[in-house]
């Protein structure tokens, strides 16, 4: 009996809002291996804002076309191998897609695959010790370069990257203001992350509240979202400020095939541009994979902070392969905090 590979395929071209009708289940037998390959049984799938960009453009990976298996990073176990580099039982991290089984090989481009270090929880391997944690750590170390006493604003602070960046900046002695969506999430930023202030980006007085929370201005800005939040933060920044602009989440809902390419600074007014020019403020973008030469160093430092209890890595897990499209469409729902993952491995009979 052939082993079944359940697959979610990007079946219909995105035209309006992303919906369940863009996806289709198309199961097929698990792939057969050739020389130099390994079969990975996917366990945990990472749901990221970037998944939405895959429909519209080349972002971290080639653009998706209809009939492609939906792309997504994940953690999986090598269950079969024809190459000694891949040992059965090892966990690997990579863009395995929304399916039970993926093939990795020793001769194709594989810079985004890596064997996971042993001894860590899967939710940490996919989050704080994976792309999320690297994005946070490189941003803090290479772009923000915090000094104790500086005021930092972290947009998307309840999210996967932002919750880590906010904590790393606190550990460096900064005064940290987190931006969250709604009163409950703002309370979480204060109570659980110990931030100095929290501002609700959905509240009508967001800009005034931010101004009040930053009496000495803003020296560091971790910007995952652009939009209204950036329009409120940037006027509070002056010469010498560091602006880590690593995502434009507020615009991702409009990303679709054929749409005009989104400029990263499209949220800026002429007045804001003039302010940035006058103050020498420049966004610094960083693509996490460009910095992977430092991945193991970052992993070691983040792991030490976790083990010492100085860093927490919040995550939200949804169970079940069926839940994959809904998890991306609903971004985990209103209660989602930190890294969002879907566990797909424990609910499958694996034969057809
Ligand atoms: N450059 C790179 O290499 C790289 C790598 C990884 C990620 N990224 C980018 O980093 C960003 C964050 O990723 P993530 O994994 O941390 O995502 P995430 O876990 O979804 O967190 C993002 C948070 O942003 C908040 N948010 C959503 N829409 C917003 C809006 N319109 N205005 C203000 N805040 C909003 C939400 O907070 P609430 O839940 O509190 O509403 C959400 O939790 C994304 O843009 C992603 O593409 C870039």
Residue-range domain boundaries for the chain: 4-127+313-343, 131-293
Picking from 271, 266, 281, the residue whose alpha carbon sits closest to that of residue 218 is 281
Q: What is the pLDDT of residue 110?
A: 66
Q: What is the pLDDT of residue 28?
A: 96
Distance 180 CA to ligand 1 centre (A): 11
d(CA 208, CA 348) in angstroms, rounded, equals: 51
- Average pLDDT of span 17-23: 91
Distance 225 CA to ligand 1 centre (A): 6
Ligand 1 mutation pick, 95, 210, 247, max ligand atoms within 8 A of CB: 247
pLDDT-derived band at 248 (thresholds 50, 70, 90) equals confident
Which CATH architecture does the domain made up of 131-293 adopt? 3-Layer(aba) Sandwich (3.40)
pLDDT at 82 over 60: yes
- Average pLDDT of span 276-305: 93
pLDDT at 2 over 80: no
User: Is any ligand 1 atom within 6 A of the Cβ of residue 201?
Assistant: yes
Q: What is the pLDDT of residue 252?
A: 78
d(CA 80, CA 92) in angstroms, rounded, equals: 13
14 compared with 339, residue with greater pLDDT: 339
pLDDT at 15 over 90: no
pLDDT-derived band at 53 (thresholds 50, 70, 90) equals confident
User: Is any ligand 1 atom within 6 A of the Cβ of residue 133?
Assistant: no
Give, in degrees to the nearest 5, the angle at Cα 135 between 302 and 121: 45
Q: What is the pLDDT of residue 296?
A: 93
Distance 264 CA to ligand 1 centre (A): 14
Determine which residue's CA is closest to atom 44 belonging to ligand 1: 247
pLDDT at 342 over 90: yes
Q: What is the pLDDT of residue 266?
A: 78
- Average pLDDT of span 332-351: 76
- Going by C-beta distance under 8 Å and a sequence separation of 6 or more, which residues neighbour residue 13? 22, 66, 257
Q: What is the pLDDT of residue 332?
A: 65
pLDDT at 1 over 80: no
* Model confidence pTM above 0.85: yes
Q: Chain-wide mean pLDDT for the chain? A: 92
Distance 221 CA to ligand 1 centre (A): 14
User: Is any ligand 1 atom within 6 A of the Cβ of residue 283?
Assistant: no
Lowest model confidence (mean pLDDT) among 10-19, 54-63, 149-158, 341-350: 341-350
pLDDT-derived band at 58 (thresholds 50, 70, 90) equals confident
Determine which residue's CA is closest to atom 46 belonging to ligand 1: 247
- In angstroms, how far is CA 211 from the centroid of its own chain? 28
pLDDT at 14 over 50: yes
d(CA 75, CA 347) in angstroms, rounded, equals: 16
Q: In the numeric block, which tokens belong to residue 344?
A: 């797909």
Q: What is the pLDDT of residue 251?
A: 78
Distance 173 CA to ligand 1 centre (A): 24
- Average pLDDT of span 38-46: 97
Ligand 1 mutation pick, 72, 130, 224, 331, max ligand atoms within 8 A of CB: 224
145 — alpha (psi -120 to 50), left (phi > 0) or beta?
A: left
Q: Percent of the chain at pLDDT above 70?
A: 95
Atom of ligand 1 nearest to the CA of 287: 3
Q: Which one-letter DSSP state was computed for residue 98?
A: S
Q: What is the pLDDT of residue 165?
A: 98
User: Is any ligand 1 atom within 6 A of the Cβ of residue 249?
Assistant: yes
d(CA 261, CA 258) in angstroms, rounded, equals: 8
- Average pLDDT of span 232-241: 97
142 compared with 253, residue with greater pLDDT: 142
267 compared with 321, residue with greater pLDDT: 321
Determine which residue's CA is closest to atom 9 belonging to ligand 1: 247
CATH number of 4-127+313-343: 3.90.180.10
Alpha helices, H only, the chain: 50-53, 122-126, 131-138, 160-171, 183-191, 206-213, 227-233, 270-279, 295-307, 324-330
Picking from 195, 203, 257, the residue whose alpha carbon sits closest to that of residue 222 is 195
Determine which residue's CA is closest to atom 2 belonging to ligand 1: 287
Residue 181: exposure state from Cβ atoms within 10 A (0-12, 13-18, ≥19): middle
Lowest model confidence (mean pLDDT) among 101-110, 170-179, 315-324: 101-110
Ligand 1 mutation pick, 161, 199, 339, max ligand atoms within 8 A of CB: 161
Picking from 340, 295, 314, 245, the residue whose alpha carbon sits closest to that of residue 138 is 295
- Average pLDDT of span 140-163: 97
Q: What is the pLDDT of residue 349?
A: 41
Atom of ligand 1 nearest to the CA of 338: 19
Distance 53 CA to ligand 1 centre (A): 13
User: Is any ligand 1 atom within 6 A of the Cβ of residue 225?
Assistant: yes
3-state helix, strand, coil in the chain (%, to 5): 30, 25, 45
Q: What is the pLDDT of residue 346?
A: 66
pLDDT-derived band at 348 (thresholds 50, 70, 90) equals very low
């Amino acid at each position: 009996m052939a082993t079944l590979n359940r697959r979610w395929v990007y079946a219909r071209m995105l035209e309006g809002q992303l919906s369940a009708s863009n996806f289709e289940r198309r199961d097929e037998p698990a792939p057969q291996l050739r020389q130099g390959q390994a079969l990975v049984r996917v366990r945990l799938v990472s749901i990221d804002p970037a998944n939405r960009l895959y429909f519209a453009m080349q972002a971290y990976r080639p653009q998706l076309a209809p009939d492609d298996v939906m792309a997504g990073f994940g953690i999986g176990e090598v269950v079969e191998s024809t190459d000694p580099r891949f040992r059965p039982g090892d966990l690997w991290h990579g863009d395995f897609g929304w399916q039970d089984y993926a093939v990795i090989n020793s001769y194709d481009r594989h810079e985004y695959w890596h064997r996971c270090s042993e001894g860590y929880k899967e939710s940490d391997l996919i989050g704080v010790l994976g792309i999320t944690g690297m994005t946070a750590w490189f941003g803090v170390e290479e772009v923000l370069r915090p000094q104790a006493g500086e005021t930092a604003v972290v947009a998307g602070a309840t999210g996967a990257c932002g919750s880590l960046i906010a904590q790393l900046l606190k550990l460096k002695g900064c005064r940290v203001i987190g931006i969250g969506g709604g009163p409950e999430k703002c309370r979480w930023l204060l109570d659980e992350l110990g931030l100095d202030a929290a501002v609700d980006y959905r509240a009508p007085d967001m800009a005034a509240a931010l101004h009040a929370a930053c009496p000495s201005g803003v020296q560091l800005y971790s910007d995952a979202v652009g939009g209204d939040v950036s329009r409120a933060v940037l006027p509070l920044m002056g010469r010498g400020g560091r602006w880590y602009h690593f995502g434009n989440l507020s615009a991702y809902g409009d990303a679709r095939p054929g749409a005009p390419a989104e400029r990263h600074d499209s949220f800026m007014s002429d007045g804001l541009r003039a302010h940035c020019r006058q103050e020498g403020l420049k966004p610094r973008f960083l693509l996490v994979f460009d910095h992977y030469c430092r991945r193991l160093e970052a992993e070691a430092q983040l792991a030490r902070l976790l083990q010492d209890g100085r860093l927490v890595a919040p995550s939200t897990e949804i169970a079940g392969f069926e839940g994959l499209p809904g998890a991306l469409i609903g971004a985990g729902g209103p209660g989602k905090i930190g890294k969002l993952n879907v566990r797909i491995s424990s609910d499958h009979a694996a034969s057809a």
